[in-house]
Amino acid sequence: MAHWLVPCLTDNIFSAASNNLTVTPGAFNYFQSPPGTAVATTHLVPGVSPDQPWLLVGRKPGALSQNVYVAYGNFSGAPDMRVAVAAGASPLNFTTDNISGFSTGFVNPGHRLAVDPRSGAVYSLFQRRIAAGSAAHRTSTTC
């Protein structure tokens, strides 16, 4: 089980993993102290301004092991859509953070992910404003 947290006083997303699937509500608390419990997810991108993180655990492409994927919009960019990746082991170690696409201004892209359970392919979905007006949006898909 993996979770994400967005602390109020930082421009980073923090994620944590647990093998305890019987945690009672309110008992899943992870903090930076001691270090290694909750780990920085977006630390690879200097000056990041993350929004709406979306965490999924899914099969690693071409393997039976799993990865933890965190999609987020970076509002210090276009905004740009990013996906951070860690191997599905505890503690999490996010070693990859790539741009999966760009949105446009005047709309919150609402970045989301989907992982194909058979192949491990990861799909990045977000909204773009392509013209003026409330009906001028479309959804982009990247894998």
Which is it for the CA torsion 120, 126, 130, 134, positive or negative? positive
Residue 106 has pLDDT above 80, yes or no: no
Residue 36 has pLDDT above 60, yes or no: no
Residue 9 has pLDDT above 70, yes or no: no
- Domain range for 123 is 2-142
pTM equals 0.77
Cβ-contact 80, 89 below 8 angstroms: no
Q: How many domains would you assign to the chain? A: 1
CA 56 to chain centre: 8
**44: CB partners within 8 A, 6+ apart:** 84, 94, 95, 96, 97
- The reported pLDDT for the residue numbered 99 is 92
Per-residue model confidence as pLDDT tens digits over 45-64:
888 888 888 889 998 888 88
| CA 14/CA 50 separation, integer angstroms | 11
